[in-house]
Every structure is written in C-alpha cells, then in structure tokens.
Amino acid sequence: MPRRTMIEDVGYFGGVFRCTHGLQQKFGSSRVFDAPISESGIVGAAVGMAAYGLRPCVEIQFADYMYPAYDQIVSEAARLRYRSNGQFTAPLVVRMPTGGGIFGGQTHSQSPEALFTHVAGLKTVVPSNPYDAKGLLIAAIEDNDPVIFLEPKRLYNGPFDGHHDRPVTPWARHPQGEVPDGHYTVPLGKAAIRRDGSAVTVLAYGTMVFVAEAAAAETGVDAEIIDLRTLLPYDLETIVASVNKTGRCVIVHEATLTSGFGAELSALVQENCFYHLEAPVTRVAGWDTPYPHAQEWDYFPGPARVGRALKAVMEA
Amino acid sequence: MSERVPERVPEPGPLSFHVPAPAVRPGGTPDFSDVKISRAGEVRRPEVDVAPEEIRDLAFAIIRVLDRNSEAVGPWAGLLSDQELLEGLRHMMTLRAFDARMQMAQRQGKTSFYMQHLGEEAVSCAFRKALEPGDMNFPTYRQAGLLIAGGYPMLDMMNQIYSNELDPMKGRQLPVMYSSREHGFFSISGNLATQYIQAVGWAMASAMKRDTRIAAGWIGDGSTAESDFHAALVFASTYKAPVVLNIVNNQWAISTFQGVARGGAGTFAARGLGFGIPSLRVDGNDYLATHAVAKWAVERARRNLGPTVIEYVTYRVGAHSTSDDPSAYRPKTESDAWPLGDPVLRLKNHLIRRGVWSEDRHKQAEAEIMAGVIAVQKEAETHGTLHTGPHPSARDMFEGVYEQMPPHLRRQRQQGGV
C-alpha cells in the first residue's frame, strides 16, 4: 500500500480532539506533522503531494474552518483528474470534525456536507461509530479520488442520542465501539441498516442515527433506520428497497434545511418510490439560522422532534 | 529602516482614501522613468548558500547580463554555449510564431480563446533549460515556453487549443490549459494562484521521499495578491521546500496595473524577504540573465538549501487574452517605450555580436519556423477545430470525473442519451 502522509494541527499534541494522539511518535515527523494555520495552504499543499504520488490525509480542525480551503477542494482536488484527463489525480482525504452538540456556537458546530455533495469529483463520508470510522477511513485513504471525511464530533466519546441531559455510554461499553486491530475496510457508497422496521424508513447519518434510534424506541414506531455512511456516491438501492417496503420516509440531518442533503434524498425518494409512498416525505433538520450558542437544544434536531415527525407520517 | 523624515508630519484630520493609479493612461505619453534599471553586469552573484539577509538588496535590483552593445557581461554571464543560445533563440522564435498563428486561428473562429506570450518569451523558454527531466512546473497560462523548450509536441498543443478529436484533454478544458506529466508541466487550472501552494506541496513530497526532483511554481504580478501566494511562501519557508517560486511581473493584470497588487512593497521580489526566502529580481527580457538566475535557484533547491523567489521584470506586449483590448487601459505605444526591449531581438543581436548568427540567417530561420508551425497547424486542422469539429464525444464528458463512474453519473449519462 502506498505510503501515507498526514498534516495539520495534529503532530506533537495529537489534535484538539486527540484523534491523532501517538501517531507522530509511531510514524515519525516526516509523516505526521503540524502545519501553519492556513486551510487553503494545507489542502493546496496536499493536492501537490497527491499529484506527486503520496496519499495525504489532512485534518481541518473544525469543518467550520474549511471555507478558506474550499477553492482548493472544489476547483483543484475535485477536478484535477477530469481536467488533466487522468494525468494527475488527487487521492487525498480531508478529515474534519462536523456537527453540533458541544456548545461550540456558530464556529464549531456546522454541518457543511451539502457544500461537498454538490461538487462533481468529490466523495463525502460521514461515519457514525468507531468500527465504521476506521473501515471507512482506510477505504477513503485507499480510494483514488478525493474524499471528504466528516467526523461527527459529538460522537467522539460515545453514541450521543440527543438526550443532552443524560450521561452518554462510552464507546468502550457499546458493541460498535469494538475496533479490530489491523487492516479492514468498510466500502464507500454502501449504507447500513441499523434497525429493521416495517412502518417507516428513516434516512440519517452521523449523530442523527442514534437520535433516530432513540426516537423510534420512545414513540414505539417500527422504523427502519438507514445509516447512509457515504453521502456521495449514495446507496440508492438500499434506500429505494426500504422505502418501497415501508411506504414512508423521514429524513434527518443536523445541517440547515434549505438546499441541505435531505433535499436531494427527498427528490430521489420521490423519483424512485412515488407509487409506493403513503405519506409525504418529511425532513427534520437544523433550522435555517446560523448555529446558535445558548439555544443549542432548541436548534439541534433531537429525539422529540424526530419522534413527532415519525408519528406525523404514521398518521398521514 | 528609512531615516527619511517627511518635511512636515501631516496633522490629524479628515482621512483620505488612497487608490494607486498607473502613471499614464490611454492618450498619455508612456513613461517608465520610475522603473529603476540596474546596469548590465552590475549586480553581484552570491554563493548559492548565502544567508537571505545578506542579499536583501537583490530583491530591489535587476540582474542583467546583456548590455546596450549586446555583449554578455558580469558575474551572471558565461553559462551558456553558442549552441545552447542558438537553441534558445529558436525556442523563443517558435513560441512567437506559434502565438501568431493561434491568435489568428482564434480570430478566424477556429477556437474560442487564446493567450499569447508576446514580449515574455524569454522567461519560460530560458527557465525550462535550467531544469532536469522529472522536475515539475506548476505553470500559469503564459508559460507555454516550458513546453516548446521542453520538446512537447506542438501538434498536441494545437489539438488542445482546437478541442478536436485528438485533444489530449478530451475537450474538457479551455484552450491553452495544457497538461503533461511526462514533460513536467502540471495541469493548468484556470483559477489563479492555486498552483503556487501545490508546487510547494509537490516539493515537500519530493523531500519526504528523499527524491532528487524539485518543483517550480509560477504566478503573475496580479495574483500575488491571492492568499494562496502567501500560503505558498509560508509553507515553502517553514518546511524549506525544494521549490523555485517564480513571479512574472509583466506590468499588467488584464487592465489593472501592477501597483494595485504590489502596494507599498516596492517590488514583488520583496514579498519573499519577510518569509526569510532569498529573493532576486531579474531582467525577464534577457534570456541569459533569466537562465542564469533560474539555474542559481534550481541549484539551491537541489542542494537542500530551500526555496528561492524570483521576480522576472518583463512587459506584456499583447493583450491579456483574445478577450480584451489593451488600448482601452494603456497608451498604444507603451510597449515601444518599455525600457528592457524585446527578448528575441536582444538575443539575436547578442548572437550576431558573438559571430554565430546574422540578419540573413535570422530571416531565413523566421521563415522556416513559420513554415513548420503552419505545417503542424494544417495537420491539427485535419483532426478538427472547435468551429467545425470533430470534437471529443459527449460520452467523454461523463468519463474521468471519478476513477470509476458512480451509479448516479451512469444514470445521467443514460438519460443524456450518450
């Protein structure tokens, strides 16, 4: 396997969320090192490294800080293969903590996935648990196209289900917290069914998978919960099979509603499952406001809001 | 630090907003008296391992080799043989003939767009000869001399410009946005400055792998204002990347004069000083000086001494592209007044002076080169032009977005009926 390189604010200290703790000691400072605070510089340099033949894996400290690098991601990494007719490629991974739930306010809480799924040439991944995170990350690094790897920061410590007033079970005591040693991959473009059900399909990813599970348990609605894992390319087959079975669909994401990835999912369900639908496709999402600070739990689509949507589609 | 004290320190009061403007606009008399030009041979040639703080003055001088009598003088002279200089002249003349034909082809509607190099031929042609095979350029749209002097087939360039059935880029890119990994020419983006930091990243990768290849980044005066330029200088400085950071100052960023991007810095080379990067300024219309400075910077990179900033002082004689008319923003005769002359003429006169060239041989070479370019153009046109086709297929449009076409794109291609 080709040698990999990692850069960003991750070297000596191990990152603000400690994801890269110990890596520099293990692999040396020519493979794991700190970078100047310049997101466009980090991703731009990574594009050059990838064009050289490395597989850089860079970290942007928060997805909210991605915007200075957006030109390098959209105009450069995503299009390099296409515009050079395959002479140069950009097999890089851009990791970034995403989403809210940590009282991070508007600059540490955003969910910008739709800004990536809108771009031809990118793949966008959002894992929901440690097992998938490792398998998807290895698959992303081995992929020969650029991959945006959004890590829901509220899940770093455990499967947060939106009940912010209750303690979170640490991953160590959760079955999906089991991470095998050694090499394995979770394929990109394949969703996972987290809960089998017959009444309604819930399409979710990241933290919202656990919120949806809590909502289903609390309302007693027999929901089939699909964890998309990869947003682009999406697993249309799994989505369509489930919605055709249940006849109902609720889409949940933390990102703002309008032009969010849920809009794409809703259109796909309508185009592919129209004659099986018993109720309008419903979206539960972040409100179309900047991510607030004090009002975090009024903003965050928690189990109560998702539960109301489940009951509403069942009554439609 | 300047000890100059203004005659009278201004009083506090209503603030005034400053917008720099060129000395002369259309209708005025061209004036380059503010361009301070060093005498040929005057600027010293430091050792390649010189400490950057010892050569800060070189960011404000202009290194020149060819003097008014067409002699090569001073410490930067003497690197190139007669044969190499004759070859350099041929490259520049070829690029000029190529430009003339492609410019005309655009006017004839055979393609949508073209960008010529008139007046700037020495920069990319001479730089290419300072590199080794395997080195990688991250060019802008005005360095086709890297391809011409690097032996890239002219037919491929024309096929790309025409977006015809043999276009190596399959019709996906604007004309002149070439790419050739084999010839050390990174895919041109069309966005500005993005490639500068990529060059640094490529060079960092080469160093990580303990390779011997180096990178060269290219940027124009105007786009040094982009944040990617500054990111590139930070990264190059921090990681001592084996990269040559070229700034081609051709005085005009479309209609915006170079003072708008340069601000109070004095020169573009001076931008490198704050980053602790050795920064030189060179006469970009002097093939010998340009080559010698490039060679110096390349040697630094090759010896692990890190990056070098080079500002090439030149002048864009033609329009920015086929989409603008320079007479709308600068005096028509401004290029005649440019004090550093024409690079082709200057090298030609030097070679005559050396006794290895003549007016007759020059005329003959001009005719031969033009005939050669026209022959290639005819061949390219048998494979189509943008106007007449044939073009790469609509099916090609869907290929190469990803290594493997994902299902959603496959469905769209089917919907598109291709």
| B263-274 pLDDT tens trace | 989 999 999 999
Residues A126 and A237 in one domain: no
Q: Is A75's CB within 8 Å of B197's CB? A: no
Residue A95 maps to a domain = yes
Q: Is A87's CB within 8 Å of B179's CB? A: yes
Position B410 scores a pLDDT of: 97
Mean pLDDT of B205-217: 97
Position B2 scores a pLDDT of: 42
Q: Which residue of B has its CA nearest to A55?
A: B205
Position B6 scores a pLDDT of: 60
Residue A175 maps to a domain = no
Residues A150 and A192 in one domain: no
Residues A271 and A145 in one domain: no
Q: Which of the two residues, B8 and B205, has the higher pLDDT score?
A: B205
User: Which of B64, B72, B67 is closest to B45 using CA atoms?
Assistant: B64
Considering the candidates A21, A108, A163, A183, report the single residue annotated as catalytic: A108
Query: pLDDT by residue (tens digit) across A237-277?
Result: 999 999 999 999 999 999 999 999 999 999 999 999 999 99
Residues A219 and A145 in one domain: no
Q: With contacts defined as CB-CB under 8 Å, which chain A residues touch B203?
A: 48
Residues A123 and A201 in one domain: no
Region class of B73: left (phi > 0), else alpha (psi between -120 and 50), else beta: beta
Residues A146 and A216 in one domain: no
Query: pLDDT by residue (tens digit) across B57-101?
Result: 999 999 999 999 999 999 999 999 999 999 999 999 999 999 999
Please state the length of chain A. 316
Position A7 scores a pLDDT of: 56
Residues A82 and A38 in one domain: yes
Residue B402 confidence class, pLDDT cut points 50, 70, 90: very high
Position A5 scores a pLDDT of: 56
Size of interface A-B (CB pairs under 8 A): 141
Residues A254 and A129 in one domain: no
Tell me the HSE value of A2 on the side-chain side, using a 13 A CA sphere. 17
Domain boundaries, chain B: 52-387, 393-418
Residue A134 maps to a domain = yes
State the best of B136, B167, B180, B187 to mutate against chain A, taking most chain A CBs within 10 Å: B187
Position B44 scores a pLDDT of: 98
Position B3 scores a pLDDT of: 47
Residue A66 maps to a domain = yes
CATH of B52-387, one of 3.30.590.10, 3.40.50.720, 3.40.50.970, 3.40.50.300: 3.40.50.970
Residue B1 confidence class, pLDDT cut points 50, 70, 90: very low
Alpha helices in chain A (DSSP H): 23-27, 39-52, 70-71, 80-83, 113-117, 130-142, 208-219, 236-246, 261-273, 296-299, 303-315
Tell me the HSE value of A59 on the side-chain side, using a 13 A CA sphere. 23
Residues A38 and A89 in one domain: yes
Q: Is A71's CB within 8 Å of B191's CB? A: yes
DSSP E strand stretches across A60-146: 93-98, 123-125
The reply to whether B256 touches chain A by the CB within 8 Å rule is: no
Q: Which of A35, A145, A232 minimises the CB distance to B403? A: A145
Residues A143 and A16 in one domain: yes
How many structural domains compose chain A? 2
Q: Is B403's CB within 8 Å of A120's CB? A: no
Position B4 scores a pLDDT of: 55
CATH number at residue A283: 3.40.50.920
Residue A174 maps to a domain = no
CATH number at residue A19: 3.40.50.970
Position A212 scores a pLDDT of: 98
* Residue ranges in chain A whose pLDDT is less than 50: 1-3
Q: Which domain holds residue A90?
A: 4-155
Q: Which of the two residues, A199 and B389, has the higher pLDDT score?
A: A199
Query: pLDDT by residue (tens digit) across B103-139?
Result: 999 999 999 999 999 999 999 999 999 999 999 999 9
* Backbone Cα Rg of chain B: 22
d(CA A258, CA A263): 7
Residues A142 and A247 in one domain: no
d(CA A245, CA A269): 12
Q: Is B187's CB within 8 Å of A41's CB? A: no
* Domain C-terminal end among A138, A155, A172: A155
d(CA A234, CA A123): 9
Residues A146 and A192 in one domain: no
Position A29 scores a pLDDT of: 87
ipTM above threshold 0.90 = yes
